Structure formats: C-alpha cells, structure tokens
Structure 1
C-alpha cells in the first residue's frame, strides 16, 4: 500500500473505534456503521468535512502539522499513535511530554539488580534521574548532574570510565545520541540550551556536532579502577523506555573476570 493509502486506512480505523460518548457528543441517531461519522471528526478537528474525507480516501494533500494536531486530538490518539500519524503524513512528530518522575518499569529493574550491578537512569538529554546504591558507591552521588555535560566538561570523569584510546568513540556516541534526541524534541528550549552550552564549552563537542552524526545510544565495555576493590571489567547495556524515552544503563560483571566478587566486596562499604 502507498503511504497515502495507509494514512487514510489509519484514520478510518481510529474513527470507527470511537463512540460519540468518548468524545463528548450526543448519540441521537441510529448509526449504520460503528464509530464516529466523518463530519463529526472534522468538526472536532476544526477542519472541513471535504478535506477530511479526501484524507481518509487516500487522495488528499499532505496535511500540515496543525491539521495533524487537530486530528490527533479529535481521534484521541495515544502518544505512539500520534507519532505514527505524523510519520505517515511525512511530518516530524512533536516531542512527547517529558516528566522528571522515574519510569516505573526501568526503576524496578534498576533496584532489583542493585546488589550486583551498578546502574543509573537518565532522560534522553543525559539528565540523571536515579542511581542504585552500587552505582553511588562506585561513582559517587550524581543527583542533578547531566552525564553528557560531565563527559565533555570534566576530563577526570571520562578518565574514570574509558581508557584514552576509547574516549573518542564514546564522545561521538554521546553526540550522535543527543542529535537524535534534539531532532525528536523539535524546538525544545532545554535541548537547545544544552547544545549551545556544550558547543561553547567544548571544541571536541562542537566539531563532532557539526558532523551531524545521528544514532541511538550504545555503550561499550568499561574498565573501572576502584581504590577499594581494584579493577572492574564491566559489560554495558542500555534499555530505553518506548513511552518515557528514559534510559537505564547497567554495568554487569564481564564473564570470566573477578569483577563479580569485587562488586560484592564493594557493596559492603558504607
């Protein structure tokens, strides 16, 4: 199917699943088909009936962002459905609403592995949301920190996480991930302010930013030297929530290394 036909099919199916009561309309007349009528959706979306009908029939012009916003509201779309609608229409989806509260599913995993695995949660701009106890013991209390800012403005921080030969790759991974996040968030002031700050503070960041890399965040293996327990060989995993876009980064003991025992010893410290 062509994209225009897919857009029309998506609109029709979402219209048919709604009842007048769900959108605050009276249901006075018997309906021959399920769901709302096209004229009702058009009225709720503040657009002409003819224009809406053409979109549903797969022969309308490319709808504007304003039209898509009106249809999203009229059809009571979820965040995922709204994003799908914009993509079908060839428009960049608007940024999802952000929240400072920790994503409950990621938070559950973070604390379930706290006895054996250092981990933390961040938002898509690198702002720290939560750490488990083992992560605090290993890296210190980081409440309120931004991990991208730390990486590019605190040389001592990156030296704790990566050997010199690996740091350039990690820098590029941070920049590519931030580029993707900024693109999703459109003209979000917080994202723009962070980029401006990092460009001014770090020539390395500015040079990499101007290359325009785009990629989801990935994490390489880490070797951390802790004065209390010694060398820690850690494998890194990143889990991303589809709903909140928050990330959970876990650092597990690499197989075949003494790291698991050393993390167990670290957990006994106050």
Structure 2
C-alpha cells in the first residue's frame, strides 16, 4: 500500500521539487528545520490559539494537521518538513508557518535561514528613526553632511550640513523624498550631484537600480516597493532599461562634486552604514583627501551657526 506521504513527494505548488542541499540549505539545516518546527508546535497550547484542548491529545501542543490548516497547506506536506524531507518551502509557505506557530521576529528570521531563504525585513512606522543611526548622525553633524534613509532610499532625516547643501527632502510628499526617484526624474538633482564623467554618472544610475532590485526581493515585492518600481519604469526609460538588466548589489555611491553658492565646489566621498536592527541606513558625505573640501565645510558650518540662510546649493 502506498504511504500517505508518498504523494507529497510530487511537485507541490510554491515549492521546488528539485531542491537539493546547497551551502545555504545544508542537510544539517533541514534536520534543524524539522526539529525547530516540531519544538515550536509542541510548545503551543491549543487554547492559546482559540482551539478546544480536547481529551484525545496524546502529546502536548498542537497537532500537525492543526498547524497545516492554519498555515494553509496540506498536512502531508507539513509532515515531511518536520521529517527533514521533501521540496524546499517557498517564502509564502514559510510566512504561513510562521504565523501559524506564532513565531517571534527572531524565530521567524531563524526559520527563513534554515529553509534557505533570505529573511524578510520588517516594516517600520513612517516616523521611525533608527536610534543607533540617529546617534551617529548627530555625532558627525559638525563636520559631515549626512542623512538617514529607508531601504527604498526615502529620506527620513537630515543633519544641518546636509540640509544646507541639498535642501529639505524628509518632509516632501510621495516619491519626492525618494533619492532614486529624484535621480531618474530630476535633471536639476543630477546637476547638483555632478559626476566627474559620463561613465561615473552611469555607474551611479546602475548602483541605484541594482540596490533597489535587491531591496524589492528582500521586501517580498511588497506594495510600496512594487509601486515605486512601476512608477519609475513609467517615468524613466533609462531606469526601465537598467531594471531589465537584472543587476543586484548593495548601494555604493562614487565621488561627487557639489557646488554651493556660498562656499563653492565640494568634492565628497559617500560612506553607507546599514543598521542591523532596521531597514534604515546612514549615508555620510566625507571630504575627498587632498582637496579643500574640509575647509569649505567648516565655512558652511559657520554660516549655519551664524543663522545665515545657507540652504540650497
């Protein structure tokens, strides 16, 4: 007689039937995944989830069929996951399991890694500012133009030197606060961030696109990311062409030259610090060694301290 689990060895929608252990999904990880699921399932009390305790439960915790039902998958498929067999679960299946097992954010992160997926990053409130990045932003305020953005490049907060150089972005509506949007739709913004050569300008464009491509995947193609990409594709043929190249990389920004009407040209290198605790990152513009940019930034800081209007380059 065919064992009930044999059917689960056939391809299941949302899974990869040819999944084999890789450096990211080792056999040990599959065993650990099964053990993790079993232990989290048996640690839950039925009454915590609004289920009747019942009198016929032979073991503590939930039954496999109860978890499978809440995760919107077959009992047979959930069983083979606990037994460290079968195809790799999709990200959407893992999301269902995490919800069914009432996993904490740390446990959810662990679940995705064991299953060979990049853990989704949680969304933050619109007014959230990462405290560690905010501390660093304030610490460098006297010498370094800097700002904090989210992973989609929406500006969250700027320090005074950054405001003096570029004007306010954080309080702009919609896409107007998004630096990728500004780069591909605003000729004025590109004129402010002068690139040394057409090649450097193209490299900056590709960096924005490759970073956004990686972020969209990390976010699980959520509505905010999908809308930004769709609107950018419609607004910029350059963006659309580069998006279709499917480049992926973390954000880096080449040396920029900024002209400010009060202090002149500033040659700036960009340093990006990503927070391990949020989706946000800090971008700092540092003087290029061997230039007089440090002196010009000090002059700009004096203008700010004296209360003079230094905003807008």
Which TM-score tier does this pair reach, normalised by the shorter chain? 0.7 to 0.9
| Partners of 1:160 and 1:154 in 2: CA distance | 10
Residues 1:150 and 1:46: Cα distance change in structure 2 (over 3 Å): same
Residue number in structure 1 paired with 2:115: 89
Does the CA-based 8 Å contact 1:220-1:235 persist in structure 2? yes
SS at match of 1:224: strand
Per the TM alignment, residue 167 of structure 1 is displaced from its structure 2 partner at its CA by 0.7
Deviates more, 1:210-219 or 1:51-60: 51-60
SS at match of 1:148: helix
- Where does structure 1 lack aligned partners over 5 or more consecutive residues? 29-35
Does the CA-based 8 Å contact 2:41-2:62 persist in structure 1? no
Deviation string for 1:35-65 (max 9, x for gaps)? x946468746646887655433323554455
Residues 1:42 and 1:64: Cα distance change in structure 2 (over 3 Å): farther
Per the TM alignment, residue 119 of structure 1 is displaced from its structure 2 partner at its CA by 0.5
Deviation string for 1:166-206 (max 9, x for gaps)? 11000000000111111122332222221122112211111
Residues 1:37 and 1:66: Cα distance change in structure 2 (over 3 Å): farther
Residue number in structure 2 paired with 1:204: 238
Q: Aligned residue pairs: how many?
A: 261
| Partners of 2:153 and 2:107 in 1: CA distance | 26
The alignment status of 1:138 with 2:162, answered yes or no, reads no
Per the TM alignment, residue 75 of structure 1 is displaced from its structure 2 partner at its CA by 4.5
Does the CA-based 8 Å contact 1:102-1:129 persist in structure 2? yes
> Quick check: which has more Rg, 1 or 2?
2
Q: State the TM-score, normalizing by the size of structure 1.
A: 0.81
Deviates more, 1:204-213 or 1:99-108: 99-108
Residue number in structure 2 paired with 1:103: 130
Residues 1:39 and 1:13: Cα distance change in structure 2 (over 3 Å): closer
Q: CA RMSD in A?
A: 3.2
SS at match of 2:181: helix
Per the TM alignment, residue 210 of structure 1 is displaced from its structure 2 partner at its CA by 0.9
The alignment status of 1:69 with 2:95, answered yes or no, reads yes
- Where does structure 2 lack aligned partners over 5 or more consecutive residues? 1-25, 54-58, 309-313
| Partners of 1:50 and 1:197 in 2: CA distance | 42
The alignment status of 1:225 with 2:266, answered yes or no, reads no
SS at match of 1:251: strand
Deviation string for 1:41-94 (max 9, x for gaps)? 874664688765543332355445565234323544343542442343355655
| Partners of 1:246 and 1:200 in 2: CA distance | 26
SS at match of 2:302: coil
Residue number in structure 2 paired with 1:156: 188
What does residue range 34-49 of structure 1 map to in structure 2 within 5 Å? 37=60, 39=62, 43=66, 46=69
SS at match of 2:207: helix
Which of 124, 127, 131 is equivalent to 2:154? 127
Q: State the TM-score, normalizing by the size of structure 2.
A: 0.71
